[in-house]
Amino acid sequence: MSLLTLSSADIQTETLDSWGFRAGAKVEGTCAISGRSISKADGVSTGIWECEPGEFDVPNRPNVESVMILKGYVKLTDLDSGEVKELRTGDAATLEKGSSVKWEVIETCRKFYVIANV
């Protein structure tokens, strides 16, 4: 068994690689993205992702993503129902496969993510 760990201090200060801008989505604002992939195996990936303020849509999500906000403030809008959820440091959410969500990054957001291709 392989065990990968990151301390809470590492997660907050981890140097991330530039991932450019949100590909294939409507982008307003800078939405510069950086991140670090921690693991990928059997259709599941984990990592740290950070995005500068701006907004983008993720229509018809192809996978399931669970996130924990490590810092920042985002608003998620369900594009089908119009329901809005606000996430701040310490909050978590799961975005279901097939969902269509608008991300509005109000304050630079850093999140830990788990993506499952189910």
pTM value? 0.86
At residue 14, the pLDDT reads 78
At residue 15, the pLDDT reads 86
User: What residues pair up with 54 in beta bridges, in sequence order?
Assistant: 29, 105
Cβ atoms 109, 86 nearer than 8 A: no
At residue 36, the pLDDT reads 92
Tens-level pLDDT at each residue, the chain (118 residues)? 466 666 666 677 778 999 998 765 566 677 889 999 988 889 999 999 999 998 889 999 999 999 999 999 999 999 999 999 999 999 999 999 999 999 999 999 999 999 999 8
**What domains can you pick out in the chain, each with its CATH number?**
18-116 (2.60.120.10)
